[in-house]
Amino acid sequence: MNKFTISSIGAVHNARKTPEDDYWGDVISEIKLNNEWSMSSLDGIESFSHLEILFLFHLVTNDIIQYSSRHPRNNEAYPKVGIFAQRGKNRPNKIGLTVVELIKREDNCLTVRGLDAIDGTPIIDIKPVMNEFLPKGEIIQPQWATDLMAIYWE
C-alpha cells in the first residue's frame, strides 16, 4: 500500500465539543487557516456561495476503523453495508467531506454554516463548489440513507 503524508491547513472552531450524530443544521463554524501563506490562498473565495470542506476525523483511532460491512450507526433496522457505501467516520484514512455555505471571509478565517465537524477538527483542503462539478442526472440512494439523514441537518 502506498503511503502519503498530509498536513492540516487549519482547524475548525465552533460550539460542538463532542461528536454527535444529528442536529448539525444550525452549527456555525470558523475555519482558521494556520499558515503564513493562508491569506492569499483564500483570495477570491468570497465569489463562491458554497465550499467543499475536507477534514480529518481526528478522534477516530486505528482500532475502530471499519474494514468489513456493518449496520450504519449499528442500527439493525438498516442493512449491513461496506464502509465505502456509507459516510460514517470510522473509515480508512478518516477523511470527512461536507459542503458548507460560506457566510464570510475575514483574512485567514472563513465563517461557514453546515459543517458537521467538531471544535478542533483539522482541515486538509477547501474547494469551491462549481455547478459543473455537481452530480449529473438523477440521484438514487437507498431508503436507509434517507431514513438515517432525517434529522441530521435539523
Name which of residues 79 to 138 contact a second copy (CB under 8 A): 79-87, 91-95, 97-99, 101, 114, 122, 124-138
Can you tell me the distance from the alpha carbon of 78 to that of 110, in angstroms, rounded to the nearest whole number? 36
**Which residue lies nearer to a second copy by CB, 18 or 131?**
131
Give the H or E element holding residue 40.
Answer: helix 38-41
**x/- site string to a second copy, residues 33 to 72, per CB under 8 A?**
-xx-x--xxxxxx-xxxx-x-x-x---------xxxx---
Provide the minimum distance between the beta carbon of 111 and a second copy in the complex, in angstroms, as a whole number: 15
Residue 46: helix, strand or coil by DSSP? helix
**Which residue lies nearer to a second copy by CB, 64 or 140?**
140
Provide the minimum distance between the beta carbon of 18 and a second copy in the complex, in angstroms, as a whole number: 20
111, 115, 117, 123: CA torsion to nearest 10: -60
Provide the minimum distance between the beta carbon of 17 and a second copy in the complex, in angstroms, as a whole number: 19
Q: Under a CB-based contact definition with an 8 Å cutoff, are residues 45 and 128 in contact?
A: yes
**Which residue lies nearer to a second copy by CB, 28 or 99?**
99
Can you tell me the distance from the alpha carbon of 66 to that of 94, in angstroms, rounded to the nearest whole number? 10
Tell me whether strands 10-13 and 50-56 are parallel, antiparallel or unpaired.
Answer: unpaired
By CB under 8 A, what part of segment 10-29 binds a second copy? none
**Which residue lies nearer to a second copy by CB, 17 or 138?**
138
Residue 13: helix, strand or coil by DSSP? strand
